Structure 1
């Protein structure tokens, strides 16, 4: 999994006045949990751009002035209700020999057979909650949807891996192909391969 480096400084004071002064200076107050005791630090708001404003997931290397380095994952983030500015971030320290739980994005490959026949691909699960050692967690989980016909569903059981454990029930649907007005009869005859960018398919998010 890709890692992002955040350069910061330990916070000497964690009171409301000190926190407000940090934010006014363009700094984000943060807390790192998972160690012997919580570690309070701050970093420039712009340093979190590639970590927060992206659909991808990353581990974080926190480098503090003085030479201390910690590996962590983003645990929680608070935004200003009006400006959407980052107000506070919680991190959780990770160790290579200890399993962690993360939400990993799902990327599909191929063009579903049902979509070629006019169906609509609907997503029930854009991210999957998985557990494993930090070094075994992928940047994304690949789901091959080529064989899905109209009415077929792809379950999380089809995406199991020896590298991590999926934390969803076995009957959880990742995506499915639904019928539409433009549907045509499906046959078992071999069909000519069609490039993804040549298929006018519609992808729709759907909450379970």
Structure 2
């Protein structure tokens, strides 16, 4: 993973009002902590930070005003629940050569055998890696796999220098038999019957008069 060099400013104003002013200036409030250091409240440039955060487990080389350089790993990103803009970023100090535990995404590639259904039971894996060499993701190929195939965490080949922390027996990818349309219809009919939903048969519909009146009713003159 490449490092993102970002210039940061020390933040001296706090509270919701200050945070709004920071965001209006296209900057992002953040805090960096770890390794026994006192937490440092900073502001980050909005555009550069958003570009860096497009990558999971982003590593930032912070150039903090005053000449201080700090290597930090993104720990948490808080976003507005509606507009999705970044409200705050938590960063943890790391050292070159230091091992850290992070979660990396599982990406499934390829096409399983016909009439199968692929389920990803674990979207991420917890691994240990050197702070400056954290893989963004791991690929798991299901190309040609038949129904009944299961891939566990311990079966997945990780990049060099990366160690699995997740339980090796944890099921990550499951390839099962796809349900046929007939089986799906039968299951739907059974579910409807359980809740009392009844459908008219085609013969009943044909026997009904065009106007929708019950059979046997005649119009009185």
TM range (shorter): 0.7 to 0.9
> What are the ranges of 5 or more consecutive residues in structure 2 without an aligned counterpart?
182-221
C-alpha contact (below 8 Å) 2:31/2:91 kept by paired residues: yes
User: Cα offset for 1:157?
Assistant: 0.5
Specify the SS of the correspondent of 1:138. Answer: coil
C-alpha contact (below 8 Å) 1:148/1:176 kept by paired residues: no
Distance 1:129 1:164, change over 3 A: same
Which residue does 1:186 correspond to in 2?
A: none
Give, in whole Å, the separation in 2 of the partners of 1:57 and 1:138: 8
Larger deviation: 12-21 or 43-52? Answer: 12-21
C-alpha contact (below 8 Å) 2:116/2:176 kept by paired residues: yes
Which residue does 1:67 correspond to in 2?
A: 67
Question: What RMSD over aligned residues (CA atoms) do the two structures have, in Å?
Answer: 2.5
1:141 corresponds to 2:138: yes
Q: TM-score, normalised by structure 1?
A: 0.74
How many residue pairs get aligned? The number is 179
User: Cα offset for 1:55?
Assistant: 6.0
Give, in whole Å, the separation in 2 of the partners of 1:167 and 1:122: 22
Distance 1:117 1:18, change over 3 A: closer
User: Cα offset for 1:118?
Assistant: 2.0
Higher relative contact order (CA 8 A, sep 6+): 1
Q: TM-score, normalised by structure 2?
A: 0.70
Instruction: Provide, for residues 134-179 of structure 1, a one-character-per-residue CA deviation record: whole Å limited to 9, x for no partner.
Output: 2443232232334632111100011255623322222211111121
Give, in whole Å, the separation in 2 of the partners of 1:179 and 1:29: 49
Give, in whole Å, the separation in 2 of the partners of 1:122 and 1:108: 10
Rg: which structure is higher?
Answer: 2
> What are the ranges of 5 or more consecutive residues in structure 1 without an aligned counterpart?
184-208
C-alpha contact (below 8 Å) 2:151/2:174 kept by paired residues: yes
Which residue does 1:200 correspond to in 2?
A: none
Give, in whole Å, the separation in 1 of the partners of 2:75 and 2:63: 18
C-alpha contact (below 8 Å) 2:10/2:43 kept by paired residues: yes
Which residue does 2:169 correspond to in 1?
A: 171
